[in-house]
Homo-oligomer: A and B are copies of this chain.
Amino acid sequence: MTAKQELRENLEFLPKFDNNDLITAIAQDATTGQVLMVAYMNREALDETIRTGYGTYFSRSRGKLWRKGEESGHRQKVEQILVDCDQDCLILKVAVDAGQCHVGYQSCFYRALKDPADNKLQFIADKVYDPKQACEK
C-alpha cells in the first residue's frame, strides 16, 4: 500500500496543512446541511476547536486566531469533524443560531450565478440580522 493509499484508508487523523500552514475548513449546519462558510485553520486553531468544541479559525487578513462569534455572538458549536480522502480539507458540522455571515446572512453563500453569459449574480437569501450591530471581520 502506498503512502497515499494509506492516508486514504487508515484511521489516523493526520491533517495536511499547506505551504502556509493552513488547512481549508468548511462549516456546515449540522441540521440543515447548509454550507455556512469556508475558512482556514492553522494547527493552533484546529487544536483549539477540538479542545473547546467551538469553531476557531485563522484569519488570513488579520494574521491571527479568529474565534468565530467572539465579537458577534454567532458562535459555532462543533458536533462533528470530518476529513476528506487526502486529509487536506475538513468539514465542521456545527450547531448555530441565525446569522453566520458577517454581511448579515445566514450563510456566506447568499448569491448564485444568474446569467453566466453576462457574469451576473442574484441574491438567493435574505439577511437575518443587522451586521452593523455585530461586525467581526
Contacts and interface: CB of A to CB of B under 8 A. Distances in A.
Interface of A: 8-14, 24, 26, 28, 32-35, 37-38, 50-51, 80-86, 89, 91, 101-103, 105, 108-114, 116, 119-124
Nearest to A114: B11
B103 A82 contact: no
Nearest to A86: B108
A26 B90 CA distance: 12
A56 to B, nearest CB: 14
A117 to B, nearest CB: 9
Nearest to A35: B91
Contacts of A105: 85
Q: How many copies altogether?
A: 2
Given A83-B121, A84-B109, A26 B38 contact: yes
B11 A113 contact: no
A83 B38 contact: no
A13 B120 contact: yes
Nearest to A13: B119
A126 to B, nearest CB: 14
Nearest to A124: B82
A46 to B, nearest CB: 10
